[in-house]
């Protein structure tokens, strides 16, 4: 069994990445995320129309973030994707797209 004794600041810097922002995108650029969100909107129009509004929230937030050059509101996107995931049928294309968006956005 080993024991490590640290004498000093073990917290390190809290600002990691550009401008203190940690961004996880798993190799997917903003344009590709936006295309996935648009595909989710179209898929839900046929599979589950009541959930289109939630898909529009995701697409709108990603479009706003891309336009502003900022990160999307992760809480808002996560909430909408969770609502979609609960409302669509297991094994559906809509569920697969929602899960893929969650994965690429690191949610």
pLDDT at 27: 53
> What total of structural domains would you count in the chain?
1
Whether residue 72 is contained in a domain is answered as: yes
Q: According to the 3-state scheme, what is the secondary structure of the chain?
A: CCCCCCCCCCCCCCCCCHHHCCCCCCCCCHHHHHHHHHHHHHHHHHHCHHHHHHHHHHHHHHHHHHHHCCCCCHHHHHHHHHHHHHHCCCCCHHHHHHHHHHHHCCC
Q: What is the pTM of this model?
A: 0.69
Q: What are phi and psi of 99, to 5 degrees?
A: -65, -40
- CA 80: distance to chain centroid? 10
pLDDT at 32: 85
Nearest to 49 by CA among 88, 83, 86, 81: 88
Whether residue 86 is contained in a domain is answered as: yes
Structural domain including 62 reads 30-105
pLDDT in tens, the chain (107 residues): 455 554 554 454 454 444 554 444 455 677 888 898 999 999 999 988 999 999 999 999 999 988 888 888 888 999 998 999 888 887 788 888 888 888 888 77
């Amino acid at each position: 069994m080993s024991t490590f004794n640290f004498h000093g600041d073990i917290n390190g810097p809290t600002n990691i990445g550009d401008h203190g922002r940690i961004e996880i995108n798993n190799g997917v650029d903003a344009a590709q995320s936006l295309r996935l969100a648009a595909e989710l909107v179209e898929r839900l129009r046929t599979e589950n129309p009541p959930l289109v509004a939630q898909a529009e929230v995701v697409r709108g937030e990603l479009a706003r973030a891309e336009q502003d050059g900022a990160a999307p509101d992760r809480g808002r996107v996560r909430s909408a994707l969770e609502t979609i995931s609960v409302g669509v049928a297991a094994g559906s294309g809509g569920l697969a797209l929602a899960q893929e968006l969650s994965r690429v956005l690191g949610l």
